[in-house]
Every structure is written in C-alpha cells, then in structure tokens.
C-alpha cells in the first residue's frame, strides 16, 4: 500500500515533468502526465491523512494550484501561437490555390 509521503513525493516529481513536456511541446505527453497526476491525487485523498501530514498536503496543494495557473497560461500562449500559425498557413494556401487556378 502506498503511503502519504510516497504519493507526495511522486506528486512533487510531476512539476518538472510537466514543465519539460510544455517546453518540448509534447502535448500528448503533457496530457498523459496530467491524467497520471490526477490518479495519484485520487490515491492520496483515498488515504487517511494524519494531522502531521495535513499541513504538508495543504502546502503542496497550494503550490500545485499556483503552478497549474502558470501552466495554463503557458499552454494558452502556445495555443494562441499555433492558431496564428494555422491562420497564416490557411491564408497562404488559399493564395497559392488562387494563383494556380488563374
């Protein structure tokens, strides 16, 4: 059976892995990491958390929320950049098609 400390350690490791996936623009990996992290959170909250562990869990959750807000902002920026690139591509493609049809 997994312990609270073990799950907290695993959850802390996700921060670096998630940032790495974003930096490398590996969106499928990012999704997999977030799903796995959620599974670990579910595992954590299915355990009885002692009074001494509760403060650590609260700190970790607060840090995770702040980190997730930064991650969300970064992913949103990446999404907007991709949308701009797609729009440019579609525009250029239409221009080429119009030129070729003349």
| pLDDT at 98 (0 to 100) | 85
Report how far Cα 48 is from the mean position of its chain's Cα atoms: 27
* CA–CA dist 44, 14 (Å, integer): 14
- Residue-wise pLDDT for 11-66, tens only, equals 999 989 998 998 898 989 999 999 999 999 999 999 999 999 999 999 999 999 99
CA angle centred on 44, ends 10 and 3, rounded to 5°: 70
pTM beyond 0.85 = no
Q: Which residue pairs from 54-59 have beta carbons closer than 8 angstroms and sit at least 24 positions apart in sequence?
A: 56/8, 57/4, 57/8
């Amino acid at each position: 059976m997994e312990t609270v400390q073990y799950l907290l350690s695993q959850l802390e490791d996700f921060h670096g892995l998630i940032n790495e996936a974003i930096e490398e623009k590996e969106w499928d990996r990012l999704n997999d990491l977030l799903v796995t992290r959620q599974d670990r959170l579910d595992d954590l909250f299915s355990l009885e958390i002692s009074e001494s562990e509760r403060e650590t869990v609260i700190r970790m959750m607060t840090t995770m929320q702040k980190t997730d807000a930064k991650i969300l902002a970064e992913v949103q920026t990446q999404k907007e950049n991709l949308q701009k690139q797609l729009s440019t591509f579609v525009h250029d493609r239409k221009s080429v098609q119009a030129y070729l049809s003349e």
